[in-house]
Amino acid sequence: MPFELKLPDIGEGIAEGEIVRWLVKPGERVDEGQPLVEVMTDKASVEIPAPRSGVIAALLAAEGQVVPVGTAIVAISVDGETPGPAAGATAREAAAARAAAPPTSGAPRQPGARTPRSGQPAPPGPGPPRPPPPPSPRSACRCGD
């Protein structure tokens, strides 16, 4: 089954990115680290590199499309693996195959939850906000008023 590269969390507070330009085509061989796509966020324009060597099985997002962080944007048939149903598929066919597949995890993903690159769920956040500090003794003193 092809490896699906998801739009990474490019920077703090980035929720989505626009696919500006694909630098590869389906069927093209890529090496690890080779730039695949140019993505523009509200803060910067960056090139996303291939995380693995292989052959581009499908482009899963179109140029000009705005995709949320964590959305699969390209499928790569990784060297040494057997190509799956997405090999040579169009973006529409690959998206339909993904939609028909059962979820990979039993727990639904919570909106805004971030997943580290290791694929493990993110640890709980810092907790509820802290109350404001008490007023300083100087501002609390009404001496001489």
What is the full per-residue pLDDT of the chain (145 aa) written as tens digits?
789 999 998 777 888 999 999 999 999 999 999 999 999 988 788 999 999 999 999 999 999 999 999 999 999 998 766 554 444 444 555 455 444 444 444 444 444 444 444 444 555 556 667 777 776 665 555 666 5
If DSSP codes are grouped into helix, strand and coil, which group holds residue 76? strand
Q: Looking at the domain assignment, is residue 10 inside a domain?
A: yes
If DSSP codes are grouped into helix, strand and coil, which group holds residue 8? coil
Q: Looking at the domain assignment, is residue 128 inside a domain?
A: no
pLDDT score, position 125: 58
The amino acid occupying position 53 is S
Q: For position 26, which CATH number holds?
A: 2.40.50.100
pLDDT score, position 143: 61
The structural domain count of the chain equals: 1
Q: Looking at the domain assignment, is residue 120 inside a domain?
A: no
pLDDT score, position 41: 87
| Model-wide pTM > 0.85 | no
The answer to whether the beta carbons of residues 39 and 46 sit under 8 Å apart is: yes
pLDDT score, position 114: 45
Strand extents, DSSP E, the chain = 3-6, 16-22, 29-30, 35-40, 45-49, 54-59, 66-68, 72-78
Q: CA-CA distance, 67 to 43, in Å (whole number)?
A: 15
Q: Looking at the domain assignment, is residue 83 inside a domain?
A: yes
- In b/e form, how buried is each residue of 108-118, taking b as 16+ CB within 10 angstroms? eeeeeeeeeee
Domain membership of residue 51 as a residue range = 3-100
